[in-house]
Chain A
């Protein structure tokens, strides 16, 4: 049993507040992605869990034990560093085997594990090379292999695929997911790439400015963002937000009327680009740009003077300047408070 519990952890660097009061639980064998824009405190939180940084307040528990006062080597973790930290004076083989050597594993087991993880990360031809002779992406794979080789109970990864080219990243993503799932490794995975988080994680925690704003399964995060920020950060293209005014529990947009959980006052209507269909009637959409993406066409235009993006069938016959009509799926519409940006629940 190796669950991670982060309990009201705080951290400041001088006047910079890095983590306000962060709580997060990762169940045994679960894969949680910590997702947020650059500088929001992801690395800081991961380093606190690893014991490389000391929190100003709060506790970290691993496997039910408070490890807040323990040094990193006593926490039973493995980690992939954002800047790789692959040892420059050791070749790839020695780097991958480092953790097992420190644990005093037998030679045969080390050799076996090194071969196995090297194969997993396509590093076999590079085993005798030194880091200076590797590309950034190759070094990053060595860092991942070094962490996987020890078969950890708890794995912390800080943007481990950020430096791979798109194709390799996709492949590694799938393999990583399969390996970690099979091994039942408890994983906390830091990334700023929402597709990566969506694809890999059992649950995603969204970190913004040192706060966790929402933690949930990817599908729910996508459907029911807790804040405007989450709706805009998850999904590509992001969720559309239209500023409107509710009156008598309804909102009118173009020719359409929507039931709104807020009776009166300014609200934001949130709508995913794929949740509106183009039809004969509905709200008016002045098409400005059309981008053919192969599987679909991405339309950018204006509704009531506000920018909006919509996904349309690839064979849509329309031109910039045309006036189209949209019919949003009322079940998919979300509502946000216009000032706080937080979801209004019915």
Chain B
């Protein structure tokens, strides 16, 4: 009897803390988004904030930009990290040093990372200095303007790839290290080529780590904010920056909360999709 309840007792404090610090603000956000002043001056249930958000002139741009970033950044990061992790497997000496170097961007805040790339890409930045020096351009030139959303997008993607691929890499490397070598060896003895071993043995056995990495990365990509602000400012709206603008410039917490809910909904939706698509058959551990 005691041994049955004990585990629940032990996880109770953590669960409670999470509920208070996490669920409660969530509920509050929902309240903020769905309650507006009614005709009698008291707050009533209402879709006013949501309507205001949807009719916002660049709501669709923000939605489209955010989705675009997620759809481009996450798969690219995943493929990049998987390739890097596989290459690391073939290194014996100095492996941890290489991993350490590759993870350096993780230690930099996203705002700082955005500023680093801004310094490279701005009008008088490093890129233009180099381009000028080799004679491709004749004078200062702006790359990051509202007229060049494609370049803005590419710059943000580059920043994110540089900054946050390592988090996927670290998860995948840990996952690969947990797969015993003997499975790849057995596959090799039974005639599997390197590609077949990767496809038939490594990838399926890595599935739990892939799931974790993709969920984490996708959720963070929906919340992308500081890098976007640093590079695109108001010229490249995303959901998170819209929420910020409504809160601090328009002083409208209700609409900001509605944006926050959209981000959360997208993140939860993506998580559910991953959980379903990448689940391991129960019998196969």
B148 within 8 A of A: no
User: Considering only CB atoms and an 8 Å cut-off, how many residues of chain B contact the other chain?
Assistant: 22
| Residue among A72, A91, A98 making CB contact with B185, cutoff 8 Å | A72
**Chain B contact residues, majority secondary structure:** helix
Residues 159 to 185 of chain A near chain B (Cβ within 8 Å) = none
Known: A130-B283, A130-B284, A132-B283. A87 touches B201 (CB 8 A): yes
Which A residues are CB-close (under 8 A) to B20?
none
Spot the interface stretch: A76-84, A236-244, A307-315, A328-336. A76-84
Q: Is the CB of A89 within 8 A of B188?
A: no
B205, B280, B283, most chain A CB atoms within 10 A: B283
Q: Is the CB of A73 within 8 A of B284?
A: no
| Residue among A85, A132, A150 making CB contact with B183, cutoff 8 Å | A85
Q: Is the CB of A102 within 8 A of B196?
A: yes
B285 within 8 A of A: yes
Known: A72-B189, A98-B187, A102-B191. A88 touches B205 (CB 8 A): yes
Which A residues are CB-close (under 8 A) to B191?
73, 99, 102-103
Residues 75 to 114 of chain A near chain B (Cβ within 8 Å) = 77-79, 81, 83, 85-91, 98-99, 102-103
A133 within 8 A of B: yes
B251 within 8 A of A: no
In the bound complex, how far is the Cα of B204 from the Cα of A88, in angstroms? Answer: 10
In the bound complex, how far is the Cα of B40 from the Cα of A144, in angstroms? Answer: 81
Known: A89-B204, A129-B283, A130-B283. A83 touches B190 (CB 8 A): no
A139 within 8 A of B: no
User: Considering only CB atoms and an 8 Å cut-off, how many residues of chain A contact the other chain?
Assistant: 27
* Interface 0/1 of B187-209, CB less than 8 Å to A: 11111110010000100110100
| Residue among B186, B207, B280, B281 making CB contact with A85, cutoff 8 Å | B186
Q: Is the CB of A85 within 8 A of B182?
A: yes
B237 to chain A, nearest CB (A): 43
Q: Is the CB of A146 within 8 A of B190?
A: yes
In the bound complex, how far is the Cα of B201 from the Cα of A90, in angstroms? Answer: 9
Q: Is the CB of B190 within 8 A of A81?
A: no
Q: Is the CB of B185 within 8 A of A85?
A: yes
Q: From B204, which residue of chain A is reached at the shortest CB distance?
A: A89
Q: Is the CB of B189 within 8 A of A79?
A: yes
Which A residues are CB-close (under 8 A) to B185?
52, 72, 81, 85
A104 to chain B, nearest CB (A): 9
Q: Is the CB of A87 within 8 A of B186?
A: yes
A residues sitting closer than 8 Å to B (CB atoms) are 50, 52, 71-73, 77-79, 81, 83, 85-91, 98-99, 102-103, 129-130, 132-133, 146, 150
Closest CB pairs A-B (n = 10): A102-B191, A99-B190, A85-B186, A85-B182, A130-B283, A89-B204, A130-B284, A72-B188, A73-B191, A72-B189
18 contacts between A and B (CB under 8 A): A52-B185, A52-B188, A72-B189, A79-B186, A81-B186, A86-B186, A87-B183, A87-B187, A88-B183, A88-B284, A89-B281, A98-B187, A98-B190, A102-B191, A102-B192, A129-B283, A146-B190, A150-B190
